[in-house]
Amino acid sequence: MGAYLLRRLALLVPTLFGIILINFLIVQAAPGGPVQQALAEMRGQGGSTIGRLTGESQGEIRSAAGSGGEGGNTYAGARGMDPAVVREIERQFGFDRPPAERFLKMLKGYVTFDFGESLFRGRRVIDLIWEKLPVSISLGLWSTLIIYLISIPLGIRKAVRDGSRFDVWSSALVLVGYAIPGFLFAILLVVLFAGGSFLQVFPLRGLASSGASEWPWLRQVADYAWHMVLPTTAMVVGGFASLTMLTKNSFMDEIGKQYVLTARAKGAGEGRVLYRHVFRNAMLLIIAGFPAAFISIFFTGSLLVEIVFTLDGLGQLGFDAAIRRDYPLMFGTLYIFTLLGLVMQIVGDVTYTLVDPRIDFEAQR
């Protein structure tokens, strides 16, 4: 197993390189980059970009802009602007260098997790990621834990009592959970319990109340749990249905196999058959899908929920970066997402062997 893990870890480097390269090429070809964003803001659609440039650069840009003139610029928003203005903005954003040079510089920084500085936020990317990461970790960790604690026992019980009344009404509940997107259920929770049209029971914003840092730690924990109730509930309702049905189908498939009939014929009780023989084999399929499920809940699934509950997490940070073409922030969050996804796949393989020691990846090689 040790040699297998070393090979998988070694494959992380070329995999990350390939993913980052492909996304870099795609993003470079997309219209509306940061230079065009800055040009649009200079034309009166906002001033946040120019406000983040250095004082000397602001003076150079305003001086060049005041001189007027037409240029042969290739940017859609540069028509009627002096080429010196465009060149200065390109220099500030690093776009005066060839794409290959920018990509190599980016890779050198990624080795030490130095993703550069955000183009529109004026802060280091790693600081922004580190600041937003606890929100996404909180939401993803608790949602995943609760989903597994609900779905696995429920799926096992549905498999054992297949066709019963319990199976029918629980299937209807699962169908409702599968049909309602998490963000839509989040809106419903806000309307019902967070000051919408009915009750004001839970808070709507953030993970802590104002001034909570001065409270005793026990009160801080209670306040944190109070803030997490609604977003976690929305995530659980949107994610438990698929895992429940996967668990049920996996256990039903194992229950019908010959070794289960043999164990029953030898006089083994239902509990022993289910949890001593069936459980280990049935759980393999569920564990195989754990990395993908965790990453989906951790990042993709939490994006709209973060927006609804005003949780300033990593998913919303990456979304804002994509909208504004903030390339350092985009690639920094993409790098973290990809790295965690690859690591979780390795964790899934390790968990495989913990659940069933008979699995030997070295022998499969």
- Same domain, yes or no, for 236 and 90? no
User: Is 329 found in the same domain as 214?
Assistant: yes
Res 51 pLDDT > 50: no
Distance CA 164, CA 154 (A): 14
Same domain, 174 and 48: no
Q: 212 and 84, same structural domain?
A: no
Contact criterion met (CB below 8 Å) for 34 and 327: yes
The band of 46, judged by pLDDT with boundaries at 50, 70 and 90, is: very low
CB 295 within 8 A of CB 140: no
CB atoms within 10 A of CB 262: 12
pLDDT at 299 over 70: no
Using 50, 70 and 90 to split pLDDT, how confident is the model at 41?
Answer: low
Averaged pLDDT of the chain = 76
CA-based nearest residue to 339, from 297, 301, 291: 291
Using alpha carbons, list the distances in angstroms from residue 187 to 177, 259, 305.
15, 48, 9
Residue 30, Cα to own-chain centre: how many angstroms? Answer: 23
Q: How far apart are CA 120 and CA 129, in angstroms?
A: 15
The CATH number assigned to the domain holding 130 equals: 1.10.3720.10
Does residue 120 fall inside a structural domain? no
Q: Are residues 175 and 277 in the same domain?
A: yes
The residue ranking higher by pLDDT, 180 or 27, is 180
196: Cβ contacts below 8 Å, ≥ 6 apart: 190
> Would you say residue 219 lies in a domain?
yes
Separation of CA 4 from chain center: 27
Overall average pLDDT of the 323-338 stretch: 81
Distance CA 140, CA 314 (A): 11
Domain count within the chain: 2
Tell whether 284 and 337 lie within a shared domain. yes
80/182 same-domain check: no
Same-domain check for residues 130 and 187: yes
- Domain carrying residue 173: 126-364
Q: Are residues 267 and 217 part of one domain?
A: yes
Helices (H) and strands (E) counted in the chain, each on its own, are 18, 0
Tell me the range of 161-175, 235-249, 332-346 where mean pLDDT is highest. Answer: 161-175
Give the mean model confidence (pLDDT) for residues 109-137: 84
196 and 341: one domain?
Answer: yes
For residue 39, being part of any structural domain is answered with yes
